[in-house]
Structure 1
């Protein structure tokens, strides 16, 4: 009986330790979130002068140079028309696009980044020339057609 109890305790201990190791291993195996740092340079530009838009995409300490898709969505405040531009990788995890604007106003940009089974879409406001009336954030209409709730 003592041998059976001793064997039973050893088996339970091994199973317990194994379960703890599997739990720790699974949490360590989770990938880090794909981060996107969106920049607009300059944030206050002039009509017919180029503005540079960059999305710096990283995962942990690694530059993401293999994003499935990086798309910039740009529009003037209160405008129904949103321009969408697919952007290719430039260097070191940076996806860059340059554009000039013919009309003064307050503008918005969202970078839609899909990489490594994740989606991130930071938004920035910038001004060309004289600012126009900004949009009401509660009325924001910047979701892209054809995207489901998970953003894919």
Structure 2
């Protein structure tokens, strides 16, 4: 009986030592270096006017001066694409492009950027001039349920 207990104890210790964490376990995982974008849009966009958009890219807190790619795309809530635009490198981690917007209303500005294996596509809602009734309806339908169904709970 003592022999079986000793055998079980030895086997248990061998199994437990095999389950120890490796000291270099953290280095076995891929380390992410996320790309970040700050999108600057003028506040006073008007129908027919030109929208000058500036995007500043950083990675690990440093400006990205030569990304794999960066461009922007404007779309409307109905899915209509205004077009893809390349962005001009301002040499300090900032990129600029201009777009003429023909209609009042809601647009989505999506930036596509990639650098060193990190790809991002941040999207920003932009209002040009006044919202159309269709845009207002779209925004109401997209509102979170707790905002739409605010019943005055206390």
Tell me whether 119-128 or 48-57 shows the greater mean CA deviation. 48-57
Shift in Å, 1:71: 1.4
Number of aligned pairs? 119
Structure 2: how far apart are the matches of 1:131 and 1:37? 25
Question: What are the ranges of 5 or more consecutive residues in structure 2 without an aligned counterpart?
Answer: 1-19, 144-154
Tell me whether 80-89 or 104-113 shows the greater mean CA deviation. 80-89
Q: Which has the higher contact order (CA 8 A, sep 6+)?
A: 1
Q: Name the TM-score, length of structure 1 as normaliser.
A: 0.66
Counterpart contact for 2:33–2:118, Cα < 8 Å: no
Pair member with larger Rg: 2
Question: What are the ranges of 5 or more consecutive residues in structure 1 without an aligned counterpart?
Answer: 1-15, 139-152
Structure 2: how far apart are the matches of 1:137 and 1:131? 15
2:41 corresponds in structure 1 to: 40
Residues 112 and 137 (structure 1), Cα distance of their counterparts in 2 relative to 1, 3 Å cut: farther
Shift in Å, 1:102: 2.2
SS at match of 2:48: coil
Residues 82 and 58 (structure 1), Cα distance of their counterparts in 2 relative to 1, 3 Å cut: same
4+ residue segments displaced more than 2 Å = 22-27, 29-32, 79-82, 132-138
Counterpart contact for 1:38–1:123, Cα < 8 Å: no
Structure 1: how far apart are the matches of 2:60 and 2:119? 15
- The Cα RMSD (Å) is 2.6
Within 5 Å, give how 1:62-101 maps onto structure 2: 62-101=62-101
Shift in Å, 1:104: 1.2
